[in-house]
Structure 1
Amino acid sequence: MLALLATSAAAQAQQATQPLEPIRQAALAALQAEGDAQAMIAPGLRLAPCGQALIAVPSGAAVAEVRCADTPGWRLYVPVRRTATATATAQARMPNAAEESPESAVMVKRGDPVMLRAGIGGTEVRMGGKALGQARTGGILNVENDSSHRIVRGRLLADGSVQVVN
């Protein structure tokens, strides 16, 4: 009986999360990404399901802000990787691409979800985190690791992820 309840509870918890594919598609559409562009979302990310259409807008040359307007809703900054040709085409399409470089754009704000990256040698570990401050590309900020709740320092990369620094 307990196993049946546990299985039922696990199935309900799994159903109560936002599918990641619509978030990826919205991010790619916001940046008008073509070809082999990839929206970088942690596979373990769990967000409340959105009952409304997702809203996605460019937040920089390689980052899209995707949000759910439900109450309480959520907001996610999604880094998008592209080939060099696709990046040049996308920057030409953005209205302020020539005036605003990615280095001057505020990429993350306090409370925004980010992807933490830590590596030694050829091994890289990625995990979800929450920004504890505001940063621009190349800037240093504190991030709370979602799984361990430890606070680490990292440098914000152009793709919107945060590289842990020692």
Structure 2
Amino acid sequence: MRRFLAMTGLVTAVLAPAPAVAGTEDVARIQAAAERYARSELPRGTTITANGLDTRLQLPRCGTEPQGTRLIGNAASGAATVEVRCLATQGWKLFVPVRTQQRSYMIVARAPIAAGTVIAADQLERVEQAVRGASRGFMTDLSAVVGQVARRHIAAGAILRPQWFQVAHVVDRGQTVTLVARSAGVEIRSRGEALQAAGPSGLVKVRNLSSGRVIEGRAQADGTVLVN
């Protein structure tokens, strides 16, 4: 009988629910969970701060560490929300506001750049700045800017945007160009007048100055036009 009671007591101890954790949840633990989750979801280097909770908040203390489960909103705008849950038996859910600040390297103008200028490397610099909603769509690669033409005046210190540039023309409208035709190892050259501007590898219509015929070719980096 005593052996039976001992076994019954063992089973009861195993099946008995764990005692509840006393007290209320620490707001700092909730905010830390929100920051951890946001950090795991956002680009490296993003500064994240969760400090919008009322310190008088009264929630049962979670038997485990609170866990972030979902990021809501556009963090690039500087603000988002993290859903934080208690996954223990005290289960609760809370939406925690977080402030974010992303940083990235951007290309900026060292000095004013006039419209129509072919961009040189010494006119630019690459700096690390905070990414705000107003500065999205910026350029990060120097090689993608150098050699292009500014469509507009650019102020010193301005963050460069892709729509401010166009490919530099190697052929301008009205320019006299050399037409190059190659076939079976034979190259024939003639002169023509470009009827439109074109960048490297761009298609351009040219009037042959000898025949008056309008043909289409592809502009080359050296200013010649290759025709088939």
TM bracket (short chain): 0.3 to 0.5
Which has the larger Rg? 2
Q: Which has the higher contact order (CA 8 A, sep 6+)?
A: 1
Q: TM-score, normalised by structure 2?
A: 0.29
